[in-house]
Structure 1
Amino acid sequence: MYVAVKGGDAAISNAHRLLADRRRGDRSVPALHIDQIVEQLALGVDRVMAEGSLYDRELAALAIAQSRGDLIEAVFLVRAYRTTLPRFGYTNPIDTGAMLVERRVSATYKDLPGGQLLGPTFDYTHRLLDPGIAAGSPVDEPEQREAEEGRMPRVSEILAHEGLIEGDGDMPQDHVTGDLTREPLDFPIERDLRLQALARGDEGFLLALGYSTQRGYGRNHPFVGEVRIGEVELELDVPELPFAVPLGRIRVTECQMVTQFKGSAKVPPQFTRGYGLVFGQSERKAMSMSLCDRALRAREFGEDVVAPAQDEEFVISHSDNVQATGFVEHLKLPHYVDFQAELDLIRRMRAEHDARENRFERQEAAE
């Protein structure tokens, strides 16, 4: 056994060295620096921050470099590092209405107070490969426009003024906001914990579920009330001070979907909300999150739960890509004892089966 362990240790050490060598790649090519990843692979960095639930661009970029671009592995690295950090407290709820907006679009109103801002988006590109990027062609400077300051009302506030949309997520006075990173999940869960789980969930998984609701698996036919990207102020209450202390700004993406609700015996016809909020510029993730959030509120509105996206346990238990990766990839690890036990079982069952077949054949021959 000692020889086997030593041999395994040597193999693992060699694998680590080989991984480091492959990560560096051809030595004639300049090494990739963390600041290059932060600046030029920003959307990948934002995804790792969002699903790793840690807002730190340099650490996310380091994780991307260390994982050779495997974003799920990078998320795993960030979450593992996150567990070593002290927790000083909880910031106050951010006010996205006062966001320093860089991008803001709505599919429901053409003319909005504050206007629509395209910002940096792939929406109107032709999806053609640009050889100029490979050649290092210079990039034209865009016309500079200052981000919009001051309060910019949300589309939901316009609908709320007419009483045509549900309230903005009011919770009971005695409700204590949960913390997914400190408390084990116990279904059913409140919406605050659901939103935390969705914010950390795998973008591809939530995208597929959101798409399924649009194809009829969940009766969800929404409009994008608004998507906005920009910077928000973080503030922390300090017991020794009579005012909140500003900590700085972070970039977030917020999405509110509005979906028609025909009403019930107690609730008049109105629009309902699906909500998404994630770190960085993560528009696809925020939209997918808001679609899933609305689908998971089916029971709240007395709707039949008939689709996977409406099943809270299914969605939340399978949306975490770190947990899913662990369960799938652990199959690569040694299972020699388990397999030998099943192998012996299959051999015995096969011998019994063959014995029965031979017995039946002899009986038929005798008859």
Structure 2
Amino acid sequence: MYVAVKGGERAIDNAHAWLAEARRGDVSVPELSLAQIREQMTLAVNRVMAEGSLHDPDLAALAIKQARGDLIEAIFLVRAYRTTLPRFGHSVPLETSEMAVSRRVSATFKDAPGGQVLGPTFDYTHRLIDFALAAEGEAPEAPTAPPLAERTPHIAEFLDAEGLLQSEPEGGETPSDLTRQPLAFPADRALRLQALARADEGFTLSLAYSTQRGYGRNHPFVGELRVGMVAVEAEIPELGFAVEIGEVELTECETVNQFAGSRTEPPQFTRGYGLTLGHCERKAISMALVDRAMRWKELGEDDVGAPAQDEEFVLSHCDNIQATGFLEHIKLPHYVDFQAELELIRQLRREAEAAQAQARAEAQAAKEAAQ
């Protein structure tokens, strides 16, 4: 039977107060400032911005602090805040070829025009704990980087010039906005990329890894991975032209995949594409691999039944806020539902026990009659 819950509001208030105390921790330890989080936990800040769909480093740092370092909770906070913001317009398409790169690598061309720029990367570190950091000393000064070209061309441009890379259609209709319209299937590539751009990094990484292991026949080369600042421009109706209103840091990845060709297309390379806010290399690469896996139908490839090829499976489960909400709601009160289930189980057990007793009685009667 249903039992009323008493004292719920007071318990929740106490839980909130305890949460604030737990978040602060030992008061003898200096409190983290937003500037410290923003400047020294940049990759966490960038992930919150990317999956929260809002470029605001200070807000992302605040969300991380409030969430006690739980990045999914921080992303949830940013998403919720985002819904309160008015939308005044939209920017013109970003020109990533005009990116002021801080990192740019290619696994396909060693001597790529524009050069390889390793930038700040863990790729060549030894993955050994640096106990010197525990001394909280100053970081060594980074060497002065050489001046970068005003324009760093995409690697894909050189394959395009030889006709070796499948061309991408330009223009077309304005894509749907996933933040304003519900996801619908079948989803076009623009909608899939939107969903992947704010998908959970871990989920996307696992799907990408599965394609490399054979679940989707996806064996890519990283044609190019670049990180840097890109200008954001918006059309001003009163002026009649676009003006720069700011800049954002982006991570862009283009993968190059083999394609055997079809009746209408010659053998060539195809691409997977990933683009995220901030410095999020693992996410951008994973996104590119999953993007390519879901293109099997438009490329006339066979459906091998791999999870990464199933757009409905991928797009319906990649959003960590939806997943978290559905998962964590089961820890909230379900007293009425459980009482109903409990009573059902008890009734079934009573009926089963009665049937077993009846069967035993009939067996005993048959045995006595036989004697």
TM-score tier by shorter-chain length is over 0.9
C-alpha separation between the residues in 1 aligned to 2:44 and 2:169? 31
* Corresponding residue of 2:106: 106
* Corresponding residue of 2:198: 200
* Corresponding residue of 2:308: 309
The one-letter amino acid of 2:280's match is: S
* Corresponding residue of 2:279: 281
C-alpha separation between the residues in 1 aligned to 2:352 and 2:255? 58
C-alpha separation between the residues in 1 aligned to 2:169 and 2:217? 21
Partner of 1:260, secondary structure, is strand
* Corresponding residue of 2:133: 133
Alignment of 1:153-192 (within 5 A): 153-170=153-170, 173=172, 175-192=173-190
C-alpha separation between the residues in 1 aligned to 2:247 and 2:4? 53
C-alpha separation between the residues in 2 aligned to 1:36 and 1:147? 28
Partner of 1:211, secondary structure, is helix
Change (3 A) 1:359 1:6: closer
Query: 1:226 touches 1:257 (CA, 8 Å); kept in 2?
Result: yes
Change (3 A) 1:91 1:147: farther
Query: 1:203 touches 1:285 (CA, 8 Å); kept in 2?
Result: yes
* Corresponding residue of 1:251: 249
The superposition leaves residues 87-119 of structure 1 with CA deviations (integer Å, 9 ceiling, x where unpaired) of 011101111111001100011010100100000
* Corresponding residue of 2:323: 324
The superposition leaves residues 222-255 of structure 1 with CA deviations (integer Å, 9 ceiling, x where unpaired) of 0000000000010001222221011111110000
Partner of 2:350, secondary structure, is helix
Query: 1:90 touches 1:236 (CA, 8 Å); kept in 2?
Result: yes
* Corresponding residue of 2:353: 354
Change (3 A) 1:347 1:117: same
Structure 2 length-normalised TM: 0.95
* Corresponding residue of 2:369: none
* Corresponding residue of 1:336: 335
* Corresponding residue of 1:363: 362
**Residue 176 of structure 1: CA displacement?**
2.0
Structure 1 length-normalised TM: 0.96
Query: 1:100 touches 1:147 (CA, 8 Å); kept in 2?
Result: no
C-alpha separation between the residues in 2 aligned to 1:166 and 1:45? 35
Q: Choose 144-153 or 249-258, whichever is displaced more.
A: 144-153
Q: Which runs of 5+ in 2 are unaligned?
A: 367-371
Change (3 A) 1:195 1:147: farther
Query: 2:114 touches 2:149 (CA, 8 Å); kept in 1?
Result: no
Partner of 1:342, secondary structure, is helix
C-alpha separation between the residues in 1 aligned to 2:147 and 2:343? 68
Q: How many residues align?
A: 363
* Corresponding residue of 2:29: 29
Partner of 1:314, secondary structure, is helix
What do you get for the CA RMSD once the two structures are aligned?
Answer: 1.3
Query: 2:97 touches 2:151 (CA, 8 Å); kept in 1?
Result: yes
**Residue 4 of structure 1: CA displacement?**
6.0
